[in-house]
C-alpha cells in the first residue's frame, strides 16, 4: 500500500472484528431468550442475552432514548478520528495500527447495534460464585478494551523512551 495511505491496510482487522461481533450477536439472539443464562464454567462464566440501551456499564440506560443518538454521534466522530489517525501512521507503527483497528471495529459493531436495533446486544457474562457479576458484554466491547490497553501501553512505551512508540 502506498505511503500516502499510512496504515489503512489494517482496516482488514476492523472488518474482521465487525463481522465476528455481528455474527456472534446474531447467533446468541437466535439461540437464547432475553436474560436466559447458559453456564459454561460454573461459578465463573456464562452465556446470556442482554440488551444495553446505554453506554458502558449501562450508563444512561434508563434515559428516554436521546442517549441512543448521542452515543451514535460520538461513535461516528471517534471512528472518523481513528481512520484519519490510521492514515497518518508511519510504516513502523504496527502496534498502534492494530490497537486503532481493534477499537474501530468494536466501535462500529456497537454503533450498528445502536442505530439499527436501538440497543447493543451483549452475551458474555463473567461472575464469581453467583455473587459478583461483571456487566454483560460482547466481542465489540472486548476489541475496544484490548485496543485501548494497547494504546495505553504504547503511550507508556513512548513516554519512557522519549520517542514515539512503535514496533
- List active site positions: 122, 141
| Closest C-alpha to 30, from 53, 47, 55, 52 | 47
Q: Following CA atoms 145, 150, 151, 156 in sequence, which dihedral angle do they give, to the nearest 10 degrees?
A: 130
100, 106, 107, 109 alpha-carbon torsion, rounded to 10°:
140
Alpha-carbon distances, residue 64 vs 53, 61, 74, 139 (angstroms): 10, 8, 18, 26
Tell me how far apart the alpha carbons of residues 57 and 73 are, in angstroms, rounded to a whole number: 19
Cell numbers of 113, please? 447495534
Helix axes 94-112, 66-88, angle to 10 degrees: 160
Q: Which three cell numbers stand for residue 152?
A: 495505553
Amino acid at each position: 500500500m502506498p505511503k500516502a495511505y499510512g496504515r489503512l491496510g489494517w482496516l482488514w482487522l476492523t472488518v474482521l472484528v465487525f463481522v465476528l461481533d455481528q455474527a456472534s450477536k446474531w447467533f446468541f439472539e437466535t439461540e437464547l431468550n432475553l436474560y436466559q443464562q447458559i453456564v459454561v464454567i460454573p461459578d465463573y462464566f456464562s452465556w446470556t442475552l442482554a440488551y444495553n440501551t446505554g453506554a458502558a456499564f449501562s450508563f444512561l440506560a434508563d434515559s428516554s432514548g436521546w442517549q441512543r443518538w448521542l452515543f451514535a454521534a460520538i461513535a461516528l466522530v471517534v471512528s472518523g478520528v481513528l481512520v484519519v489517525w490510521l492514515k497518518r501512521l508511519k510504516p513502523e507503527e504496527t502496534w498502534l495500527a492494530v490497537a486503532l483497528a481493534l477499537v474501530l471495529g468494536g466501535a462500529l459493531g456497537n454503533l450498528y447495534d445502536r442505530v439499527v436495533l436501538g440497543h447493543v446486544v451483549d452475551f458474555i457474562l463473567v461472575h464469581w460464585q453467583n455473587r459478583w457479576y461483571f456487566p454483560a458484554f460482547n466481542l465489540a466491547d472486548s476489541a475496544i478494551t484490548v485496543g485501548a490497553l494497547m494504546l495505553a501501553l504504547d503511550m507508556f512505551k513512548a513516554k519512557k523512551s522519549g520517542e514515539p512508540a512503535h514496533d
